[in-house]
Structure 1
Amino acid sequence: MPDYTDMWGVMMDSIFKERWVEIIKILLNSTRPMTIREMEIKLKVSNRTIRNDLDEINIYLKENKYGSIVRKPRVGIWIEIDDDRENELRKMFNEINRYVEPFSPKERQLYILKELLKCQNPITMEELSEELYVSRITIFKDINKIEEDIKRYNLSILRKQNYGVEIIGSESDFRKLVTEVFKEDRDVFSQNSLNFIRELLLESERQMDFFFTDESMSSLIFHIAISVERVRQNKSIKLDCEKKDELKSHREYSIAKYIVEKLETEFAACIPENEICYITMHILGSKIQRDYRYDDERLLSILDKDVVKLSMEIIELIGNILSVDLSNDKALLIGLALHLEPTVNRFKYDLVIKNPLLPEIKKNYPSIFGASWASSVLFEKYYGYKVNEDEIGYIAIHIGAALERQKINTKAIIVCSSGVGTSQLVSVRLGKAIPNLDIVDVISLHEVENIENKNFDIVISTVPFEYSLKPVVQISPFVEEKDIEKIKKWIKNIEGIRKPDKKILDDTLGIFFSPSLIFPKLNLKTREEVINVLGDYMLKYGYIEPAFLEEVFEREKITSTAIGKGVAIPHGNQKYVKRPVIALAILEKPVQWGENDVDLVFMLAFKEDSKLNMQNFFSEFYKILDDEKILNDIRILNSSEEIYRYLSRR
C-alpha cells in the first residue's frame, strides 16, 4: 500500500490543514453541491475561514493533479474529480485520523505564530479562537506571550479592533524569524518548488570553484524559497545603496543574478535587485567545501590575509588556554581559515547559521567549547562583531579535531629472551590490552645495545634488564593482569611528562575572584535576575561601567552563553571594564538559560591589557568544566569565603 500519510504530508502539518481533510470528506460524501453556510455549521468555523481553506485546498488539488473545487453562485460547491483519483483520496483518508485538539499552550502558541507568519492578511482573535477551540481570552494571552518571544528579533504584534493581529517590523528581521520557526518544517513550501531551487543551485555550483556543504545547500534553498514567496506577497528586502554597491562588487552577485533570472521564469515573478543582493549575501555566508588538500599550504596564499591572521591568533589563544601547542598544525590553520571566511561574511551581513551539533558539543566537549568562547574577544577586536554560540561551536569542532590529531601513543620496545613464539605472544597480548601502546620492535637481550637507534618511550622486558635512558618495566612472559596495570601506570606517567602541569586548579585563579562577588544559594527565577544581581554588585564595587551590563544583555539577546554542565559565562565588552574580575552566582534551583538549565553563573569582565590573565583564567576554567567533582563541590559549599578559598587554594 502506498504511504498516503507521506503523500498527504504537505496538508497534515497542523490542525488547520487537518480541517482541510474534513472539508474534502464533506464534499466527496455529499450527493449534491454544498453551501458555505452548511460547512460553517458542520465545522463550527467562520465563513471567511471556510473560504480561505477552499482556496488553499484548490491549489493543492490542482498542483497534485487530483482535480479542482468548483464554486457556482446560487448552486454551491463541489469537487470535480475522476473516479480513480477520488478512490486515491478516499484511501488516504483511511490513513488519517479526524482532527482533535492536540495542543499544549506552548504548541498552540507555536501554531498561532506560524499562522501569523504565513498569512498575508491580519488574523482576527475570533478566527483563531474558532480554529483552536479555546476562548478569546486564551488567544489574547497567547498573543502576548508570542510578542514577548519575538522581541529579540526586533518584531512586534500590531492589534487593531475589527482588523485583527499581524507581525510588524523590518523585512530582514521578519525573514530571520521565519527561518528560525520553520527550520524543521520545510513543508511550508511545495516540494516541486524546493526541488527546482536545489537543481538551480547545483547548476550554479558548476560555475564556481567550490561546492556548498549539504547543510549550506539546505539553508540556501530555504532562504531563496522565502525570498520568492515574500516577493510574490509584495514584501521585498530593503538595503542601503552602500551595501548594495559592495555586494555587487563580488563575483557571487553574478551567480545570484543568474539564479534570479531562472526563478523569474519558473515562478512568473518580477524579482527586484535588492533580492539579488539578498541571495548574494547568503551565498557569501554559506559554508563551502573546496577540492583541496587541507595540508596544502598554498591555500593560505589565496585566502583573505586578515582571516588567516585572525585564525592564527585564535589558535594561539585557545592553545594557551588549553596548555597545548597547536601552532604547527597546518590542517587546523587552513581548515579554520576556510571556515572563517564565510563566517566573517555572516557577521558582516547579519546572517544567522544554526549549528545542529551544538547540543552534543556542549555535552561531550564542554572544556573545548568553553575555551573556544575566549575567541569572541578577537572577533570584537578586529571586526566589532559579537559572535554567537553556534559559531563558537564550529570553532570548537576544528579545535577538537586538532587535539585528536595530537594524541600520541606511547611507543615501546619489547625485550624477550624466550624465543619468537613467546615474544609474539607478549606483543599480541599487550596490543589487545593496551590500545594506546605502539610496539615499535621486539628484540632479544643481546640486541639491547642497538636500541639507541630506535624511537621509543619505554622498554617492556620479560627478563631483568637495566637501561638508564628510558623506563624499563619487567613483566611475566605470560602477561598477567598485574603486568598490564603496571604498564598502564607507566604510560600515564609518560603522558603526564609530555603535557604541561595540569594540576586541577592553580593559585593564580584567585586573582580573578573576590569573596564580595561570590553569591552561594541564590534564590532567583530568571536569567535576567541573575545578570542584574551580579552586574549591580560589580558596578557597586567599581569593576565595570553601567554600559557593561547593557552589553551583557545585548549579547544574551544574540545568543545564550550557556556552555554545558549547568554553567553559563555571561560577559560584556571589555571597553566598559575598569578592573578585571569574575562574579559567581550559585543558584538554589537551575534557571532557563537559552535552551539550557543553568545553576552556576560566572560573569566575566576582562580588559585588553589583561589578555594574559584572561588566558590564565580560561586555562584553569576549562579544567573546572572537565571535572564534575569540582563543579559539585562549588555547588555544595555554603559561604563565599569557603568557595573563594576552594577556587584560589589560599
Structure 2
Amino acid sequence: MFSTREQKLLRYLMQTEKEMTGLELAGHLHITSRTIRSMIKNLTAILEEHGAEIIARHRKGYQLHIHDHSAFRSFLKIVAFERVNEQWIPSDPSDRIAFLIKRLLLSEDYIKLEMLADELYVSSSTVKNSLKEVRELLTKYELVVDSRPNYGLKVVGNELKMRFCIAEYVFNSAQKTTELVADPEMAAIRSIILKQTKRAGIQLSDIGLSNLVIHIAIACKRVLLHNYVSMLDEEIKNFEEQAEYLVSRQIVTDIEKSFNVTFPNSEVAYVTLHLLGTKMVSYRKASDALSPVNLVSEEILTLTANLIDQVENELQLGIHDDQELINGLGMHLKPAINRHYYGMNIRNPLLAEIKQKYPLAFDAGVVMSNALHDSLGVHINEDEIGYLALHIEAAMERKRLKPKTKRCVIVCATGVASSQLLYYKLKSAFESHLDIAGTMNLYELRNYPLESLDFIISTIPIYDDLSIPVVEVNTLLGNQDILHIEAYMVDHITLVLDYTDPELMYFQKDLQTREEVFDFFEAELTKLGRIPAGFKEAVIEREKVSPTCYGNLVAIPHPMRPLTKETFWSVLTLKKPIAWGDEMVQYICLLSVQKEYEDEMQKIYQFLVKVIETKALVDQLIKIERYADFEQVIKRMEEYGSR
C-alpha cells in the first residue's frame, strides 16, 4: 500500500494540528525536502479514496484534513492489520531489499525471479536492481546468491555464516517474525538456557541471553532441515576442552528432549561458541566468591588497563583509577574478543541513543577499539564500541558525582582578624568544595600564580585586568555573598565560546555532500593556519569507524587523534540537509582537540549533547546568519539551563 517512511510521515501529520513545513518533516524523517514532496504526492493519491487529504499551503506547510472520519478509521485498521501480519507490500527501496534478503534466507529451495517480482508487485528489472545491493550485503557473511537457469535464486554458503546472517536480517528485522520459530518455543529455549547457566554459575546479560536464544532457535530449525554446521575434528576438540562445552551439552540435551531433534557434536560446539560470545564472566562454580579475580583473567585485566591508559593519553578523562570500570570492561572484553575470532555479530539496540547522548564516551570507545586492533589485531564494530562507551560513561558519571573542589585566594584589606573570620566562614559554608590557598593583600596578589586558581574572593574592588574572575563580597559574609560565590562554583556553558570565534563560523552554505563539507573546512581552516597537513584525512579516517552524525540534523566530525596546537570548534550550517551516514545533517560542528588535552573539553561535549538533544535549539541554530546571533543563542541556552 505504501512504504514504512510514508507511514511515519502520515503519523507525524496525524499528531499535529498545525501545518508542518517540508523542511520540518524532512528533519523528522532524516530525508530531503524533495523526497517529502514525492511522498506527499503518493500519500495524497491514496488518502483521497479513504476520507482524507493533505492540504498544502504556500509558505505555511502541509496539514492532514479528515473529512470522513469513519472511512479514515477503516483505512487505518486495514493498514494496522497488514503490518501486524506482514502482508504489506514494500515499496520503499530499503524495505524491498530487506524483504528480499529475508525471503531468500528463509527459503530452502530456489525461487524464480518472476515469483519475487509478483510478490513485490514490481517488474523483474526492479528486482534485479535490488538484488545488486542484496548481494553486496550478503558478502559480509561470505554468502552468495546462486542463480540457476530454470530454477531461480538461492542463498548459499557456509552454514555458520548463514546462521549469523539469519540472526541479523530475520530476527533483528524491524518487523517481528514468527516464521522461523514460534514464541512458545523461544520461551522454552530461554527457560532451558537460564536453568543450565544458573546451575553452572554463568551470568548472562539480557542482550547476551536474547542472542543465545535466537541462535539456538535458528540451530533447531536448520538441523530439522538437515543443515548442519561443519567443523573439523580438531576444532570440535578445542571446544570440548572449554568449560562452557559441558554447559552447552546440558542445554542441547534438554533441547533435544523438548523439540525431538538430534544435535551432532558439531552443533554442541556451535552452542559453545555462542555461549563463549555472550557470557559476561569466566566460568566459575556457583559457590565461588564473586571477586574480580574469579570473574576476569589477569591477562584480560592487564589488557583492559592498557586500553584505559590509551584513552587517558588521548582524552584525559580522569577515570584510569576507577576499579569498577576496569572490572566491568574486563567482563565485557572477553566475550567481545571471542565474537571477533568466530566472526559473530551482536546488535546494540541502544547504539543511536549512545552516540547522541554520550559522544565523548563513544569517542573513548573508538580510541579503545583502535588500541585493541593495534595490540591484538581484533577489529570490533560500532555496536561493540557502543557497549564500551556505556562502561566509560558510567565511570565519567561516577567521577562527576564526586565533590568538585574549586581553588581560590582571599584578598582582604582590613586586617588579619577579619580575613581569618572570612576564611572560616567560607570553610564552614563550602566545606571540602572550596580549597582556599590563603589570604593576602592586593599587592601580594600581583605576584601570585593565578593559573593555579579558579577565582579570587575579595572584600575590596580590584581594577587590575586579571585572567580569572574576582568575586567581591562583604567582610562579614552574608547570604547574598554565599549565593554569589556559588555561582562561580559551577561550570558555565559559555566557556565553550572560548574555543571558537567569528572567523570559524560559516553560515547558510550551499554544499551537497559530506565530501564537499570536508573540502570546505580544509580550505578555510588551512587559510587561517588552524590545521596541519593531513587533518582532513584524519577526519575521514574517524568517519570510517563510525559516522559522526548523532541525529537531530547534527554532525560532529573530528580527527582520529589530536593534531592541532590549540583546541577549537568550527560551525558550518547548510541551506538544506545532506546525507551523512544513515542520517540527514544540516548543522556541522568540526571539533579539534589540542595535543595536550584539557579537562574543559568535557564542557564542550556537554554543550554539544544539549544541542543534539534539543530540536528547537537546532532549528534556531540552522537559521542563524551572523555570529552575534549565534552567541546570543548560546548565552540564552545557559540562562535557560540555570533556571
Give me the TM-score of the superposition, normalised by structure 1: 0.57
Q: Does residue 1:597 correspond to 2:584, yes or no?
A: yes
Structure 2 counterpart SS, 1:158: strand
- Determine whether 1:158 maps to 2:146: yes
Residues 457 and 470 in structure 1, CA contact (< 8 A), matched pair in contact too: no
Q: What are the within-5 Å matches in structure 2 for residues 61-210 of structure 1? A: 102-105=89-92, 106-181=94-169, 182-184=171-173, 185-188=176-179, 189-210=181-202
Amino acid at match of 1:114: K
Moved more, 143-152 or 382-391: 143-152
Report the 3-state secondary structure (helix = DSSP H, G, I; strand = E; otherwise coil) of the residue aligned with 1:375.
helix
1:474 matches 2:478: yes
Corresponding residue for 2:452? Answer: none
Give distance in 1, aligned partners of 2:307 and 2:476: 41
Tell me whether 1:375 sits opposite 2:368 in the alignment. Answer: yes
Q: Is the 8 A contact 1:155 1:168 kept in 2?
A: yes
Q: CA deviation at 1:164?
A: 0.9
* 1:109–1:143 Cα contact (<8 Å) kept: yes
1:598 deviates by: 4.6
User: What do the CA deviations read for 1:239-279 (whole angstroms, capped 9, x no partner)?
Assistant: 45665443332100111122223333433433233322221
In the aligned structure 1, how far is the partner of 2:542 from the partner of 2:425? 65
Q: Offset at 1:149?
A: 3.7
C-alpha contact 1:300 1:334 (8 A) present in aligned 2? no
Q: Is the 8 A contact 1:458 1:471 kept in 2?
A: no
Q: Aligned in 2, Cα 1:173/1:614: closer, same or farther, shift over 3 Å?
A: farther
Residue in structure 1 matched with residue 352 of structure 2 by the alignment: 359
For the 8 Å contact 1:524–1:587, the answer to whether it is kept is no
Q: What is the DSSP-based 3-state SS (H/G/I as helix, E as strand, rest coil) of the residue aligned with 2:488?
A: helix
**Given residue 392 of structure 2, which amino acid in structure 1 is its aligned partner?**
I
CA contact (8 A) 2:319 2:395 kept: yes
Name the counterpart of 2:256.
264
Do the aligned residues in 1 keep the contact of 2:539 with 2:557 (CA within 8 Å)? no
What do residues 515-546 of structure 1 show as CA deviations (whole Å, max 9, x unaligned)? 9xx9x968455x799899999xxxxx9859x9
What SS does the corresponding residue of 2:155 show, helix, strand or coil? strand
8 A Cα contact 2:314 2:561, kept in partner: no
Matches within 5 A, 1:226-305: 226-239=218-231, 243-288=235-280, 298-300=291-293, 302-305=295-298
- The 1:502/1:176 distance shift into structure 2, 3 A limit, reads farther
Matched, 1:490 2:494: no
1:137-167: CA deviation from partner (whole Å, max 9, x where unpaired) = 3333333343344344443322233111122
Q: Which amino acid aligns with 2:329?
A: L
C-alpha displacement of 1:564: 5.6
Select the residue among 286, 306, 309 that pairs with 1:313: 306
1:637 and 1:542 mapped to 2: Cα distance?
30
Aligned length: 471
Cα gap change, 1:100/1:199 in structure 2, threshold over 3 Å: closer, same or farther?
closer
**Per-residue CA distance 1:27-69 (angstroms, 9 max, x = gap):** xxxxxxxxxxxxxxxxxxxxxxxxxxxxxxxxxxxxxxxxxxx
Distance 1:502 1:470, change over 3 A: farther
CA distance in 2, matches of 1:172, 1:471: 77
The 1:389–1:570 alpha-carbon spacing in structure 2 relative to 1, beyond 3 Å, is farther
Counting aligned pairs with the same residue, the percent is 25
CA, structure 1 residues 521+573, in 2 after alignment: closer, same or farther (shift >3 Å)? Answer: same
> Does the aligned pair in 1 maintain the 2:325–2:395 contact within 8 Å?
yes
Kept after mapping to 2: 8 A contact 1:388/1:560: no
Other-structure match for 1:345: 338
Residues 297 and 193 (structure 1), Cα distance of their counterparts in 2 relative to 1, 3 Å cut = closer
Q: Which runs of 5 or more structure 2 residues have no equivalent in the other structure? A: 5-77, 407-420, 436-458, 461-471, 523-531, 627-643
| Distance verdict in 2 for CA 1:117–1:615, change over 3 Å | farther
Task: Check conservation: 1:321, 1:615, Cα contact below 8 A.
Answer: no
Task: Find the residue that maps to 1:376 and give its secondary structure.
Answer: helix
2:392 is the counterpart of 1:399:
yes
In 1, Cα distance between equivalents of 2:570 and 2:165: 33
Q: How does 1:324-473 map to 2 (within 5 A)?
A: 324-406=317-399, 407-408=401-402, 455-457=431-433, 473=477
C-alpha displacement of 1:384: 1.1
Q: How far, CA to CA, are the matches of 1:198 and 1:603 in structure 2? A: 46
Correspondence for 1:428: none
Which residue in the other structure is 1:224 paired with? 216
For 2:154, what is the secondary structure of its paired residue? strand
Cα deviation for residue 201 of structure 1 reads: 0.4
Task: Note if contact 1:213-1:288 (Cα within 8 Å) is conserved in structure 2.
Answer: yes
Q: Rate the CA distance shift 1:306–1:161 in 2: closer, same or farther, 3 A.
A: same
Rounded to whole Å, the distance in 2 between the matches of 1:170 and 1:571 is 38
Amino acid at match of 1:360: E
Tell me if structure 2 keeps the 8 A contact 1:321–1:616: no
Q: C-alpha offsets along residues 161-184 of structure 1, whole Å, 9 cap, x if unaligned?
A: 311112233333322221122215
Letter in 2 for 1:383: L
| Further displaced range: 242-251 or 271-280 | 242-251
Taking the aligned partners of 2:160 and 2:592, their CA distance within structure 1 comes to 32
Q: Secondary structure at the match of 1:206?
A: helix
> Once structures 1 and 2 are overlaid, which stretch shifts more, 128-137 or 385-394?
128-137
CA distances 1:552-587 after superposition (whole Å, capped 9, x unpaired): 89x55xx6564567336598899xx9xxxx999969
In 1: Cα distance, 2:306 partner to 2:474 partner: 37
Structure 1 residues 305 and 590 mapped into 2: Cα distance closer, same or farther (>3 Å)?
farther
Equivalent positions of 1:553-632 (< 5 A) are 560=547, 562=549, 566-567=554-555, 590-598=577-585, 622=605, 625-626=608-609, 628=611
Structure with higher Rg: it is 1
Cα deviation, residue 318, structure 1: 3.6
Amino acid paired to 1:329 = D
Partner of 1:423: none
Distance in 2 (CA, whole Å) between partners of 1:338 and 1:470 is: 55
Label 1:605 to 1:376 Cα distance change in 2 as closer, same or farther (>3 A).
farther
- The answer to whether the 8 Å contact 2:316/2:598 transfers is no
Unaligned runs of 5+ in 1: 1-13, 15-92, 413-444, 460-464, 476-482, 536-540, 639-650
Q: Which residue type is aligned with residue 183 of structure 1?
A: N
Q: CA RMSD in A?
A: 5.6
Letter in 2 for 1:136: S
Change (3 A) 1:393 1:302: closer
Question: Which one-letter code corresponds to 2:148 in the other structure?
Answer: K
Q: Pick closer, same or farther for the CA change 1:394–1:227 going to 2, 3 Å.
A: same
What is the match of residue 432 of structure 1?
none
The alignment partner of 1:211 has SS state of coil
With over 3 angstroms needed to count, the CA separation of the structure-2 counterparts of 1:272 and 1:470, relative to structure 1, is farther
State how far apart, in whole Å, the 2-side matches of 1:534 and 1:276 are. Answer: 55
State how far apart, in whole Å, the 1-side matches of 2:360 and 2:154 are.
44
Question: Structure 2-normalised TM-score?
Answer: 0.58
> Contact (CA 8 Å) 1:458, 1:470: kept in 2 or not?
no
After superposition, the Cα gap between the structure-2 partners of 1:386 and 1:453, relative to the gap in structure 1 and judged at 3 Å, is same
